[in-house]
């Protein structure tokens, strides 16, 4: 098992940056040594020589006034080899402005190379320039420079740790855009933790601001969202930055993200897009020609987005208002004249009829993508049909019972009410954000338990016991076929990699452990038929810590390549990835290593067929279900028992077993819950402050289907200090 303790992404980036950085610029080759970068942090604040200060200011003035970019290039080129990150106040670094000058002069390739060089220098020296961060990230993901995704993502994450509190308007608008683009992905509850309002186009127009706590929260959130614990990349963050680059290009009129952009960032590409058309011949005949002063330009340009592949309620209606697109309700597509004032006069009846027909055209489009509009479309369509029949045949047909004014008033009121209800319904069912990273890779069914133990040096060791159902191999056929293979040819064997990751409170990786084993579905090592099992353990980087930590376990199933030595299996025998399964455990606490009070490990279940056997040889039991043929023992450790001089530590162990039987709905409704309880108390002694205990759960033939909960409570008799831990099982008399 391989254990390492560096942050995966940061470590990889630092390793790759320990080389000379060669940058092609304008008219020649400039060489930036990595040892120069060590001084960049101070450059942003330390005074440069007067010629450099003057050159920087002159170049900045030229570019801000959109004057001669070639002149700016000539001023900045001499500085970039030794001072790429020099800047005055928050006005952007030399590397950023030189890249900007190249771009304005038409040298796009040189601009990208300069941003890349500046990004490398920033990562090496940890000197963050948000102007450069934004430009490099957008350049990388707009141009799909995949070799740079790792660097751009790492630079973005570091930038979240150094968000400027103030600066030029352009800079602060850029920073706000990045924070809003990420904040829109959070749930309402997550935003509430930092007092963040949900970003909308309207709020951005009004000056939406991110609370000071938001950047740090987002940094931790992005680490937690990493979908692959094995790679050094954060594929979910890369997906977001790709979406942001697309939104920046397509959905940012007037320099500000609109509501289309915010929905796109959350849900990705819509399955269907269309528009409600108000320039059809029927609209001209029934509305435009009938109502003097109303033209097709009075109806708003609009877009309808449908995400049926995500949720049946995920339909969004956007309208262009003052050159920006906002999410709107149906009536906002219509001119004001057709939304109100439905009188019984001849003119009022004509305008009311035009309103009803405009609603008909709107619902005809919307009902194709959202069934909620179907009833409205049907009612309006039926009314217009009756109205047409009356107009066509006069008194020979039944008179329409309601006037256009009455119907228009009712349907506009109904539109307001039902549109509001539809938005509420959508908010309940549509996810806050949808990711398609690794979505095509199947997962296996698994069982898992975890326990914490105290190392002699005071650090907490987290052990995870797991089992995987190899029947999951049968779910991989589609992926195997996409790899150009026949599922039958690789039907039973896989190379299984398990990776356990220990994360700090901020979700930064502190340590990880790896295990590799060969899996053959025909011959498994599990306590259950067809299951494969294992144990992974990881030790905290620090001792006792008041902050929580998090662990994540990932299993990667690979096609099995050549295996030179089955007894020394490595990932070199791994073929293409065919499955990925994950489990995360958040907000664990380190055990108390102070030695001043009693501490206790978690309860570790063991499969214990032989009561006389050594507990160290018993396999962990990771499953949730107990049956008559699954003898299970519970192992735990005690720490910091009080041992008086010349005496033994004395402590009591109380085992409380609470059993509840499954009950039907009527029984739960009309009878009280009376679980069966039993308590056993034992007096124990130990010559050492650290000891262990083992108890066997006796299966009772009278147990019916339900649950059993075991609580172990230990009391140090010398101090009265007590600790307890609980373990829960499902009872299945028919299982084994």
CB count, 10 Å around CB of 263? 21
Distances from the Cα of 35 to the Cα of 17, 39, 257, 550, angstroms: 11, 8, 40, 36
- Average pLDDT on 645-651 reads 93
Tens-digit pLDDT profile for residues 681-708: 999 999 999 999 998 887 776 678 889 9
Exposure pattern of 146-182 as b/e (b: 16+ CB <10 Å)?
A: eebbbbbbbbbbbbbeebeeebeeebbebbbbbbbbb
Exposure pattern of 429-456 as b/e (b: 16+ CB <10 Å)?
A: ebebbbbebeeebbebebbebbbbbbee
CATH superfamily ID and name for 440-592 = C2 domain (2.60.40.150)
Read off the tokens for 579.
Answer: 């499955």
Fold agreement between 440-592 and 594-736: yes
Instruction: Find out whether 427 and 228 touch, Cβ atoms under 8 Å.
Output: no
Among 67-81, 336-350, 668-682, the minimum mean pLDDT is found in 668-682
Among 45-59, 98-112, 169-183, 614-628, the minimum mean pLDDT is found in 45-59
d(C-alpha 302, C-alpha 289), whole Å: 22
CATH architecture assigned to 7-255: Alpha Horseshoe (1.25)
pLDDT at 25 over 70: no
pLDDT at 401 over 90: no
d(C-alpha 564, C-alpha 571), whole Å: 12
Q: Which residue has the higher pLDDT, 504 or 399?
A: 504
pLDDT of residue 565: 84
Write out the H or E segment, with its range, that includes residue 716.
strand 706-716
pLDDT at 5 over 60: no
Range 594-736 classified under CATH 3.30.300.30:
no
Task: Report residue 671's pLDDT band, with 50, 70 and 90 as the boundaries.
Answer: low
Task: Report residue 6's pLDDT band, with 50, 70 and 90 as the boundaries.
Answer: very low
Tens-digit pLDDT profile for residues 197-232: 999 999 999 999 999 999 999 999 999 999 998 888
d(C-alpha 671, C-alpha 651), whole Å: 39
Instruction: Find out whether 628 and 699 touch, Cβ atoms under 8 Å.
Output: yes
Residues in the chain: 736
Residue 638 main-chain phi, psi, to 5 deg = -120, 145
Tens-digit pLDDT profile for residues 142-201: 999 999 999 999 999 999 999 999 999 999 999 999 999 999 999 999 999 999 999 999
Q: Please report, for the chain, the start and end positions of each structural domain, with discontinuous segments joined by +.
A: 7-255, 272-429, 440-592, 594-736
Residue 120 main-chain phi, psi, to 5 deg = -60, -45
Tens-digit pLDDT profile for residues 540-572: 877 767 789 999 999 999 998 888 888 888 898
- Its pTM stands at 0.84
């Amino acid at each position: 098992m391989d254990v390492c303790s560096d942050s995966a992404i940061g470590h990889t980036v630092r390793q790759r940056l320990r080389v000379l950085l060669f940058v092609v610029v304008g008219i020649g080759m400039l060489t930036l040594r990595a040892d120069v970068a060590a001084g960049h942090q101070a450059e942003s604040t330390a005074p440069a020589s007067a010629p450099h200060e003057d050159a920087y200011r002159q170049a900045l003035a030229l570019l801000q006034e959109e004057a001669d970019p070639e002149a700016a290039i000539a001023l900045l080129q001499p500085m970039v080899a030794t001072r790429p990150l020099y800047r005055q106040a928050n006005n952007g670094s030399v590397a950023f402005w030189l890249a900007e000058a190249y771009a304005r002069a038409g040298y796009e390739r040189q601009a990208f190379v300069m941003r890349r060089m500046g990004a490398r220098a920033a990562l090496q020296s940890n000197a963050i320039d948000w102007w450069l961060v934004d430009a490099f990230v957008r350049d990388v993901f707009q141009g799909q420079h995949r070799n740079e995704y790792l660097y751009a993502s790492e630079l973005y994450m570091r930038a979240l740790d150094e968000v400027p509190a103030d600066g030029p308007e352009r800079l602060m608008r850029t920073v706000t855009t990045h924070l809003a683009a990420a904040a829109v992905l959070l749930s309402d509850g997550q935003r509430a933790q930092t007092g963040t309002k949900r970003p909308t186009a309207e709020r951005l127009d009004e000056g939406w601001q991110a609370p000071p706590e938001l950047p740090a929260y987002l940094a931790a959130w992005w680490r937690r969202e990493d979908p692959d614990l094995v790679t050094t990349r954060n594929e979910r963050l890369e997906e977001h930055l790709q979406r942001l680059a697309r939104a920046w290009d397509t959905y940012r009129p007037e320099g500000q993200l609109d509501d289309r952009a915010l929905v796109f960032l959350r849900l990705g590409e819509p399955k269907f897009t269309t528009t409600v058309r108000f320039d059809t011949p029927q609209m001209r005949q029934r509305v435009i020609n009938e109502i003097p002063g109303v033209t097709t330009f009075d109806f708003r340009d609009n877009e309808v987005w449908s995400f049926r592949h995500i949720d049946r309620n995920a339909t969004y209606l956007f309208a262009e208002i003052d050159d920006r697109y906002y999410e709107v309700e149906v009536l906002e597509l219509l001119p004001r004249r057709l939304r109100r004032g439905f009188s019984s006069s001849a003119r009022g009846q004509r305008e009311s009829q035009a309103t009803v027909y405009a609603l008909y055209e709107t619902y005809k489009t919307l009902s194709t993508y959202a069934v909620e509009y179907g009833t409205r479309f049907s009612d309006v369509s039926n009314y217009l049909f009756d109205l047409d029949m009356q107009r066509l045949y006069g008194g020979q047909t039944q008179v329409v019972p309601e006037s256009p004014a009455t119907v228009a008033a009712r349907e506009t009121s109904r539109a307001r009410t039902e549109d509001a209800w539809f938005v509420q319904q959508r908010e309940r069912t549509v996810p806050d954000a949808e990711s398609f990273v690794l979505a095509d890779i199947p997962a296996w069914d698994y069982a898992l338990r975890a326990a914490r133990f105290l190392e002699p040096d005071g650090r907490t060791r987290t052990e995870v016991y797991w089992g995987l159902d190899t029947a999951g191999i049968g779910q991989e056929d589609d992926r195997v076929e996409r790899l150009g293979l026949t599922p039958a040819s690789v039907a039973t064997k896989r190379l299984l990699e398990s990776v356990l990751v220990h994360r700090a409170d901020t979700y930064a990786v502190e340590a990880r452990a790896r295990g590799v084993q060969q899996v053959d579905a025909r011959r498994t090592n599990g306590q259950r038929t067809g299951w494969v099992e294992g144990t992974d353990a990881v030790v905290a980087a620090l001792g006792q810590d008041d902050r929580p930590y998090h662990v994540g376990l990932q299993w990667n199933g690979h096609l099995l390549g050549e295996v030179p030595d089955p007894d020394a299996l490595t990932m070199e025998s791994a073929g293409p990835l065919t499955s990925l399964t994950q489990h995360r455990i958040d907000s664990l606490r380190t055990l108390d290593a102070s030695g001043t009070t009693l501490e206790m490990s978690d309860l570790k279940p063991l499969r214990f067929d032989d009561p006389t056997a050594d507990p160290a040889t018993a396999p962990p039991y990771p499953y949730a279900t107990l049956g008559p043929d699954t003898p299970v023992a519970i192992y735990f450790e005690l720490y910091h028992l009080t041992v008086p001089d010349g005496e033994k530590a004395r402590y009591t162990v109380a085992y409380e077993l609470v059993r509840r039987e499954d009950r039907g709905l009527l029984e739960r409704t009309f009878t009280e819950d009376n679980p069966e309880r039993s308590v056993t108390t034992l007096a124990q002694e130990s010559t050492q402050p650290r000891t262990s205990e083992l108890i066997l759960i006796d299966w009772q033939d009278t147990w019916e289907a339900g649950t059993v909960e075991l609580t172990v409570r230990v009391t140090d008799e010398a101090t009265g200090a007590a600790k307890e831990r609980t373990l829960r099982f499902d009872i299945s008399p028919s299982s084994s």
